Structure 1
């Protein structure tokens, strides 16, 4: 029986119609247009895998409202786009596209001030999202994870989906301490993605720590495609996680269904 996979974090973009200023700071590896069909082809190459679909995550393009329309059009045309996490500034009065499954305000980008997630309007926005059943997609600078924990602890009823293992850089005592705090939050999920795969010992130690720290039902498979190409390859990242988790459909699919409230 094929392993059913939901990719909880992928991006697509069209450089003919979208401006992504942050790509200028990369090495050119991903300065291309990517479509959902391209991602489907990546999964088609994996033996014994059925790609159920994935969660589109905003791409920090210059025109956020134009991105909403682009994502809507793709989702309308391709059932493999199961949900969209779109861009807004978190507050009780935030703009939320009608078809969005939830919101991401990217806290890791240079334009976001330190401590942004501790502003009262942000905390109030988390409460407002919880009341509407909208999860928050959180991408953070690793040295500000403590601030993020303090923010999320003030709104424990809100579902938070922490991206890319907190953008871990090293398995330091500080990182391990704050991630243990994150694991204590009742509605926080963690995407197992974003890490370079070349350092095998680091990967082994990181995944061991993650699995020992977080409940199994709070861990989500994610590819971070095509950004994964900046630090690994799609094939190697998928292989590492399949070796680690086996054909565990809770990790590869069911946990994402619960985290995002997906209707399959």
Structure 2
């Protein structure tokens, strides 16, 4: 049997000798290290029967966003398995978009983002602008503001939106379930199945069942969230959890990401 081909739709790398990531100060030290693309490749090399095709680099909210553009550009040039870069910008019709970027992420989940930011008219108009350019928006949200995100994305249904980490799910509340069902009605919204702790097996089982029952299987993306995954699980356990749940489904592990990001393999 041939190896399972994997495109990781969400990974980070950073060099703490050259980049400042202030948000790391609020973590427990587990990931306060430099991480290289080669380190991610080594994680996949340990997985039996897996061919790591490549992955999507997602911005790391460093102190100097424009410096990160150059760092990501150099990394992509040096690493063929770095298939695309989703880079930081403030969404608006006049937003800065690096020429080589596959799309844009404005991290709506961080403390400096005001509540309701995604409902600002300039933000919604920016979504229309991204759609006209064929560039997806990468959305990471505070879980209690997912309704706002739905309202924003519903105003620009032509835009491809990629919702990070199951909306940063914390519990299977009725509110979370209801808004995820709304997201599932949007024609161009994809969801990354990542970001959840794996220790509570019952929670994981219920979460993944709800996700698979709610969303079109063509709209679900495998993502590791490496190395941030180390804050709530391990790479190995997260990967095996999803492989157990989805089997060796190459739509989930590769093809859906190729379509969402317009990747060329």
TM range (shorter): over 0.9
Q: Which residue in the other structure is 1:134 paired with?
A: 135
Give the deviation of 1:156 after TM superposition. Answer: 0.1
Counterpart of 2:62 in structure 1 is: 61
Q: C-alpha separation between the residues in 2 aligned to 1:144 and 1:25?
A: 21
Is residue 2:231 matched to residue 1:211? Answer: no
Give the CA deviation at 1:60: 0.1
Give the SS at the match of 1:174: helix
> Counterpart of 1:61 in 2: which secondary structure?
coil
Question: Which structure 2 residue ranges, 5 or more long, are not aligned?
Answer: none
TM-score, normalised to structure 2, is: 1.00
TM-score by length of structure 1 reads 1.00
State the distance in 2 between where 1:31 and 1:80 align: 24
Distance 1:41 1:69 in 2: 25
- In the other structure, the counterpart of 1:119 is 120
Deviations 1:228-259 (A, max 9, x none): 00000000000000000000000000000000
Counterpart in 2 of 1:87?
A: 88
- What is the SS of the residue equivalent to 1:184? coil
Q: Measure how far apart 1:216 and its partner are.
A: 0.2
Runs of 4+ aligned residues of structure 1 deviating over 4 Å after TM superposition are: none
SS at match of 2:184: helix
Report deviation, 1:153.
0.1
How well do the aligned residues superpose, as a CA RMSD in angstroms? 0.2
1:10-60 deviations in whole A, cap 9, x for unaligned? 000000000000000000000000000000000000000000000000000
| Alpha-carbon distance in 2 for matches of 1:168, 1:86 | 23
Q: Report the Cα distance in structure 2 between the residues aligned to 1:78 and 1:10, rounded to whole angstroms.
A: 14
CA distance in 2 between partners of 1:98 and 1:86 (Å) = 10
Q: For 2:90, what is the secondary structure of its paired residue? A: coil
**Aligned to 2:251, what secondary structure does the other structure show?**
helix
Residue pairs, 1:146-165, within 5 angstroms: 146-165=147-166
SS state at 2:195 partner: coil
| Cα distance per residue 1:147-197 (max 9 Å; x no partner) | 000000000000000000000000000000000000000000000000000
How far apart, CA to CA, are the structure 2 residues paired with 1:89 and 1:146?
20
How many equivalent residue pairs?
Answer: 264
SS of the residue 2:25 aligns to: helix
1:88-128 CA distance string (max 9 Å, x none) = 00000000000000000000000000000000000000000
Matched, 1:199 2:200: yes
Distance 1:38 1:80 in 2: 12
1:96 to 2:97 alignment: yes
Q: Which residue of 2 aligns with 1:108?
A: 109
Q: 1:228 matched to which residue of 2? A: 229
